[in-house]
Amino acid sequence: MNTIPRRTLLALTTSALALAACAGTTAASLASDVQLVDSGASALASAVMQLVGVPAATVTQIQGYLATINTGAAAVQAGTANDATIVQQVVGAVQALVPVVLPLLPGGSAFVPVANALLSMAPALLAWVGISGAPAVAAAYTPDQARLILRALPK
């Protein structure tokens, strides 16, 4: 009969538990980050759509991007889809949304940092699902700075 020494068994068990804990944290962190992006994009879109003079076609375009972000965030939260594909769709919608809304924001608006924080989260979101590469837009903030900005938004 093959036996495994106690120390070896203990080391293997501890390693397996540590890996399992990291896996759960990664999924939870991804869901948390996607939720922050969803909340930030919703707040940004809401602020822009309340401005006077925003063309109806632009509002429709913003709503379309927001729907993609909302749907993706819900799918990641529920764990019902391929996270990599969904995260790519969310990031693509954010990267399309921000250039549409930034020119509409008044200079010095409190939502300019929110827009930049959303773009700054893109590389972190993609990294969570194993996608690397240069971001479409240079990040204005580190992921931690972006999280702080997005968490500070009123609920």
Classify residue 8: in a domain, yes or no.
no
pLDDT of 111-128, one tens digit each? 999 999 999 999 989 988
Classify residue 146: in a domain, yes or no.
yes
Classify residue 12: in a domain, yes or no.
no
Q: Are 98 and 115 in contact (CB under 8 A)?
A: yes
If one counts the domains in the chain, the total is: 1
pLDDT of 24-45, one tens digit each? 447 788 899 999 999 999 999 9
Classify residue 2: in a domain, yes or no.
no
Half-sphere exposure of 66 (CA within 13 A, CB side): 19
- How far apart are alpha carbons 22 and 68 in whole angstroms? 29
Predicted TM-score (pTM) of the model is 0.79
Classify residue 42: in a domain, yes or no.
yes
Domain assignment of residue 134, given as a range:
29-151
Q: Residue 138 — pLDDT band, cuts 50, 70, 90?
A: confident
